Amino acid sequence: MSTGTRVQDPNMGNDTDAGRVDSSIPGPAQGAARSGVSDVLPVVVSVVPFAVVIGVAIARTAEIGGVLGVLASAGYYSGSAELASIGLVADGAGVIAVLGTTALVNARLLVYGASLQPRFRDQPGWFRWLAPHFVIDQTYAIATSRDDLGSPERFRAYWLAAGGTLGLGWLAAITAGIVLGPVLPDLPAMGFAVPAVFLALLVPQLRTAAARRPAAVAAVVAVAASWMPHGFGLLVGVIAGLIPALLDPGRTR
Amino acid sequence: MIPALALIAGVAVTYVLRIAFIVLVPADRLPGRVRGALDDVGPAAMAAIIATHLVHGGGPVGSPVPTLAGIVVASAVAWRTSNLAATVVSGIAAVAFVMAVL
């Protein structure tokens, strides 16, 4: 990405030209923020059907009011775990059941966090503690698909813009589901939007053998383990996809 | 009260899972082989999500046949264009078309 930006370099002393920054020209961080928004907008569209389903589930669960539902949605920022939790609450389950199920469904976030940690290492404390809230399948996928987020400032701007935009769209769609769900028409083909996003991000990576091996192993094992409850088979598939690299001494770093 | 506490517990454990290897035990303290394998997390996770969606009957689509058609069309578009929006739109269109024909 070309920014064409003049920024002040503290090592340039009294160079008067370097001391002036044209605020009308987007800086590297602004450019990264714009990339974050543009990358995530198709993702926002793709998650709307799922978010509406969650909104309808909240509206049909008497134990969860609309306000609590929206607050929980903001807190979870994770549709599959929230939907599982809503189902458990509707069935009268207690705190331990919801906590345990959520931990199983979201265990893959541990792996995403570990993979993203180098991007967070040189960030300010507030960002390291708060911004992981945006770690989810889609944000992980788009952020790791880019190779121009090397500087902490660029990654910070990109991550906040992408995560914030997706979060706002997500909450707006859930709210719409709560309010309008019962009268919305059924569009089952839209249910393909979520896997389509992952195909769009995965398929171009498969041009390299390094990506084909973990993808193939993970897909086969995830299918074989799909009988497991609460999405646990997905986690088993992901971990299986990492095993060849774990056993390869050439991949140590 | 119990539903609120249960959802708060779910939110709390989700947050802990997110920060665990970023703040609590930074991943750069993990063994070298584990860090070497982290590059494979993205392809493995995305492939597992797609495969799980297919094997679970296509989710809201309700049948694996339209989903399989969507995967084939979306994969071809993604391979040729690397364009996210074109891939999503073509995949949904393929699913809708096959559902209408079946």
What are B95's two structure tokens?
Answer: 């699913």
Residues of chain B with C-beta less than 8 angstroms from the C-beta of A231: 52
C-alpha to C-alpha distance for A167 and A115, rounded to whole angstroms: 21
Residues of A in contact with B48 (CB under 8 A): 218-219, 221-222, 234, 237-238, 241
Q: What is the DSSP letter of A228?
A: S
Mean pLDDT, rounded, of chain A: 83
ipTM: 0.82
Give pLDDT tens digits for A78-108: 987 888 788 788 878 788 888 887 887 788 8
- Model confidence at B62, pLDDT cuts 50, 70, 90, reads low
User: What is the four-CA torsion angle of A111, A224, A101, A135, rounded to 10 degrees?
Assistant: 30
pLDDT at A192 over 60: yes
Q: How many angstroms from the chain centroid is the CA of residue A75?
A: 14
> Model confidence at B61, in pLDDT bands (50, 70, 90)?
low
- Which residues, numbered 124 to 183 in chain A, qualify as contacts with chain B under a Cβ-Cβ cut-off of 8 Å? 128-129, 132-133, 135, 137, 140-141, 144-145
Taking alpha carbons only, the member of B48, B46, B71 closest to residue A193 is: B71
Q: Is A70 on the interface with B (CB under 8 A)?
A: no
Q: Which residues of A touch B91 (CB under 8 A)?
A: 192-193, 195-196, 199
Interchain proximity A85–B7, CB inside 8 Å = yes
**B72-98 pLDDT, tens digit each:** 999 999 999 988 778 888 998 999 999
- Alpha-carbon distance of A26 to A18, in angstroms, equals 16
pLDDT, mean of residues A152-161: 96
pLDDT at A51 over 80: yes
Pick from A60-74, A111-125, A150-164: least confident: A60-74
Collect all residues with Cβ–Cβ distance below 8 Å to A150 and sequence separation of at least 6: none
Contacts of B36 in chain A (CB under 8 A): 245-246, 248, 251-253
pLDDT band at A231 (very low <50, low <70, confident <90, very high): low
Q: Given this model, what pLDDT does residue A253 score?
A: 61
Contact B84, A42 (CB under 8 A): yes
Pairwise CB contact (< 8 Å): B42 & A220: no
pLDDT, tens digit, 9 for 90 and up, residues A179-191: 986 676 667 787 7
Size of interface A-B (CB pairs under 8 A): 318
Residues A114/B27, Cβ–Cβ less than 8 Å: yes
Half-sphere exposure of B81 (CA within 13 A, CB side): 16
Tokens 């930074």 map to which residue? B26
pLDDT of residue A170: 96
Q: What is the pLDDT of residue A158?
A: 97
Cross-chain Cβ contact B92/A189 below 8 Å: yes
* Residues above pLDDT 90, as percent of chain A: 42
With cut-offs at 50, 70 and 90, classify the pLDDT of residue B12. very high
CA distance to partner chain A, nearest, from residue B92 (Å): 6
A14 Cβ neighbours under 8 A, 6+ residues apart: none
How sure is the predictor about A5, in pLDDT bands with cuts at 50, 70 and 90?
A: very low
Listed by number, the residues of chain A in 79-118 with a beta carbon closer than 8 Å to a beta carbon of chain B are 81-82, 85, 88-89, 93-95, 97-99, 101-103, 106-118
Which residue in A has a C-alpha nearest to residue B97's C-alpha? A189
Residue of B nearest to A86 (CA): B7
